[in-house]
Structure 1
Amino acid sequence: MRNKELLVEVQDLSVDGSEELLSVSHLTGVGPRSDKNVTMTAAESLDGYRVVEPGDLVINTMWAWMGALGITKQTGIVSPAYGVYRSRPAAPFEPRFYDYLYRSPTYVMEMTRVSRGIWSSRLRIYPEVFLRMAVPVPTLDEQIAIADYLDRETARIDTLIEEQQQLIELLCERRATAIAQAATQGIDHAPLIESGNAFLGAVPAHWIVSRFSREMEVNGGQVDPRDYPWVDMVLVAPNHIEAGTGRIIGRESAREQGADSGKYVAKAGQILYSKIRPALNKVTLATEDCLTSADMYAMSSRHGDDHRYLMYFLLARPFHTFATLTSLRVKMPKINREELGEAPFLRPPTEEQRRIAAYLDNQTAKLDVLITETERFIELARERRSALITAAVTGQIDVRGAA
């Protein structure tokens, strides 16, 4: 059938905007906006928003190509830019079945094909186009059987995915703990004494406890990234560094990034540290001579310390906590040079720094392998979930009688 034989567009408007505000996600469908990670600012007034009822289909007109649509399970209001459709009386329409079907990759792909727009990221599906689209219509009994089957099977997969996500959180916490312990207490089990700093706590008695400004030198002087030779140098910004791991993500030159404001020059091997919140746990070592954005510091040890150890020290929870709390005390969400200079600093003997860095390289590598394997398992489970839904709603598997 055509969608228009099952559904009709409704435009019931809220009188005062007092109903619960709902949002649409390509990941979770329709639900309360308060439960979703929405970064866009809400409108000051919700008067004139569209009222939706349980069983209505809600489509984010601009993001349907990403699968941002679904059947709502509750009464609420949605943006007037959304499309709202309600089943016709006596139409063979089981909301759960069509929630699976409309959000399936196959149907989302078809909606993308018929959407209109100049750019792929700005495609829109208009009501008249959506209502003309064809849609499979099993008998109502079959729709219910398929929805029951998918409810059971997807719940099992979702539980498995959640368990694996919890495992990743545990592994990441173990990684952070290993870094914090080794970078602030060492691995040689030396006698500990109180450092005199609330963040550092007890430290090995033979380590030097100092201030950041006494131990580290921060690069100064900006260059124009549009000039030669800077324009062809790699430009590192906070978004190129993976939080908490020190890994660099991607490699693009200043020219490729269209950089046009002042940047800092960093030498290979220098420490690159993000100074903006919430990216204060983004630290890495420059793998080559490069530029850094104005949101980063490029720095070196004044005493020839092992930079890999220093990277781990800056990643350690005590230092990150200090930087975060310090940045909260200023208007701009960042830590400036003066505040960074007051940060507590630990300097073990150089050879011990190397042993700590090698130890953490080994420990974090093992944990990273486990994290990667778990992430791959989750990816495969999601692919299995998607394939199962597509097969069920398109009749490729017969679920009648399935337990």
Structure 2
Amino acid sequence: MTQSRFDLEQAWAGNVPPHWRWARNKELLAESLSVSADGTEELLSVSHLTGITPKSEKNVTMTAAENLDGYRLVNTGDLVINTMWAWMGALGVSKQPGIVSPAYGVYSPRPNAPFNPGFYDYLYRSTPYVMEMTRLSRGIWTSRLRLYPDVFLSMAIPVPPLEEQRAIADYLDCETARIDTLIEEQQRLIEMLRERRSAVITHAATRGLDDVSLIDSHNIYLADVPAHWTVSRFSREIDVNGGQVDPQEEPWSEMILVAPNHIQSGTGRIIGRETAREQGADSGKYVADAGQILYSKIRPALNKVAVAVEDCLTSADMYAMSSRHDDDHRYLMYFMLAHPFHEFATLASLRVKMPKINRDELGEAPLLRPPVDEQRRIAAYLDEQTMKIDTLIAETERFIELARERRSALITAAVTGQIDVREVA
């Protein structure tokens, strides 16, 4: 057995069909060092999720370079690898010409090489081949791994007959499209369930439990609230904690630290449970008592609110709040998750210089206060209803996860010859 074949079989854990031959990437591809003269070509994005796509189609928040002169030219059919993220599968064969960062590797098929772009796009991005690229990348930390051209070009690669490459690519195009459509349908279902969740919360927390079948999360007015509820302001009913502690000193260092990223958006659920010491906190934090309302004051995380399940610390981006009366804190949490409050907080945050809602603005927020026994009934009702919806969302997310696993396994099986596409055609 050649070293070339031995290297790859470690990652693929099996044999490809005996009529496939083995080669090295350098027999199929050559590194392309051509660069743009003026940077006017289409800028391409390299993703582990979508492969090579126009950057204009991506929702990218990172600032692009002002001058794209010297960016690498990419031709249709070229393989592009993000050298720094190859271990995550950030690579693919481009379906269009364009340019990419000079930090990326661009590899062009050699003339007359048996290289079908569709087949090798699937193969290079398959789980076992990405694992092999990770194994051969250089670096001390995973996030610092680099796959350099000399290493990539020396890697082994199976080479099926060209006609079989085309057949496999066509088969995978069809099968993955079906799975992708199914995943998209399930993702739309999750969005509908989340909208339903928000609508249920909004109606119950702003109108009570009467006529719960008539739910509309975008048409709430103060005139619509029950007559026996009181309408007040946060500044009159709610106290906000103040005073910092040093999270590096005991006992604060051993307390759970809650920041906006520890609260699941729109659900009232705290995720993760790490102490200030475990998180390496070094700046001042605030103490919150069990049962207090924890609210993210920064935009866009203004719908992150939860009730503290234990004494904890909060980051400077959180408010720890308590009712001055005997209001049910779980009802208040749901009220703050409702559409009218979230809309008020968003608009208020736009009126200040920093992307957050400050105490003065928060104090002006309207607060609907049913009688306490009714608050408790509303909170209990919403606990039950949101749990049902959350269960459906979790089941749908699991279905999507299984579909993605199926997609990955199907690609791996096809590009390693474990599926004879001539028999399934």
Category of TM-score, reference length = shorter chain: over 0.9
Correspondent of 1:245 among 253, 267, 270: 267
Give the letter for the 1:156 counterpart. R
- Who is 1:385 aligned against? 407
Conserved 8 A contact 1:199-1:322? no
Matched, 1:149 2:171: yes
- After the TM superposition, which residues 224-243 of structure 1 pair with which residues of structure 2 at under 5 Å, given as runs? 224-243=246-265
Correspondent of 1:300 among 322, 345, 357: 322
Secondary structure at the counterpart of residue 270 of structure 2? coil
- Who is 1:170 aligned against? 192
Secondary structure at the counterpart of residue 271 of structure 2? coil
How far apart are residue 40 of structure 1 and its match?
2.5
Correspondent of 2:393 among 354, 371, 383: 371
Matched, 1:282 2:304: yes
How far apart are residue 44 of structure 1 and its match?
1.5
How far apart are residue 220 of structure 1 and its match?
1.0
Correspondent of 1:213 among 210, 219, 235: 235
Matched, 1:113 2:135: yes
Correspondent of 2:383 among 350, 354, 361: 361
Matched, 1:10 2:19: no
Conserved 8 A contact 1:200-1:318? no
Give the letter for the 1:372 counterpart. A
Conserved 8 A contact 2:74-2:100? yes
| Distance in structure 1 (CA, Å) of the matches to 2:103 and 2:202 | 48
**After superposition, what is the alpha-carbon deviation per residue over 1:290-313, rounded to whole angstroms, capped at 9, x for unaligned?**
100000000000111000000000
Correspondent of 1:56 among 56, 59, 78: 78
| Distance in structure 1 (CA, Å) of the matches to 2:154 and 2:51 | 22
TM-score normalised per structure 1: 0.97
| Distance in structure 1 (CA, Å) of the matches to 2:346 and 2:339 | 10
Matched, 1:66 2:83: no
Structure 1's 199 and 223: CA in aligned 2 closer, same or farther, altered over 3 A? farther
Conserved 8 A contact 2:220-2:340? no
- Who is 1:99 aligned against? 121
Matched, 1:86 2:108: yes
| Distance in structure 1 (CA, Å) of the matches to 2:332 and 2:316 | 21
How far apart are residue 401 of structure 1 and its match?
4.4
Please, which moves more after superposition, 142-151 or 199-208?
A: 199-208
Unaligned runs of 5+ residues in structure 2 are 1-22, 213-218
- Who is 1:194 aligned against? none
- Who is 1:126 aligned against? 148
| Distance in structure 2 (CA, Å) of the matches to 1:80 and 1:201 | 60
**After superposition, what is the alpha-carbon deviation per residue over 1:352-403, rounded to whole angstroms, capped at 9, x for unaligned?**
0001001100110000000000000000000000000000000111011423
Please, which moves more after superposition, 348-357 or 29-38?
A: 29-38
Matched, 1:42 2:67: no
Give the letter for the 1:208 counterpart. T
Paired residues in the alignment total: 397
- Who is 2:15 aligned against? none
Secondary structure at the counterpart of residue 333 of structure 1? coil
| Distance in structure 1 (CA, Å) of the matches to 2:386 and 2:57 | 33
- Who is 2:283 aligned against? 261
RMSD: 1.3
Correspondent of 1:19 among 9, 29, 41: 41
Give the letter for the 2:283 counterpart. S
Identical positions, percent: 79
Matched, 1:340 2:337: no
Give the letter for the 2:272 counterpart. G
Structure 1's 201 and 118: CA in aligned 2 closer, same or farther, altered over 3 A? farther
- Who is 1:187 aligned against? 209
How far apart are residue 199 of structure 1 and its match?
5.8
| Distance in structure 1 (CA, Å) of the matches to 2:220 and 2:179 | 45
Give the letter for the 2:77 counterpart. G
How far apart are residue 201 of structure 1 and its match?
5.2
| Distance in structure 2 (CA, Å) of the matches to 1:242 and 1:325 | 21
Conserved 8 A contact 1:58-1:71? yes
How far apart are residue 284 of structure 1 and its match?
0.4
| Distance in structure 1 (CA, Å) of the matches to 2:41 and 2:222 | 49
Secondary structure at the counterpart of residue 294 of structure 1? coil
How far apart are residue 41 of structure 1 and its match?
1.9
TM-score normalised per structure 2: 0.92
**After superposition, what is the alpha-carbon deviation per residue over 1:329-349, rounded to whole angstroms, capped at 9, x for unaligned?**
111000000000001110000
| Distance in structure 2 (CA, Å) of the matches to 1:102 and 1:200 | 58
**After superposition, what is the alpha-carbon deviation per residue over 1:222-269, rounded to whole angstroms, capped at 9, x for unaligned?**
111111211111110000000000111110111111111111110000
How far apart are residue 200 of structure 1 and its match?
4.3
Secondary structure at the counterpart of residue 284 of structure 1? strand
| Distance in structure 2 (CA, Å) of the matches to 1:45 and 1:241 | 39
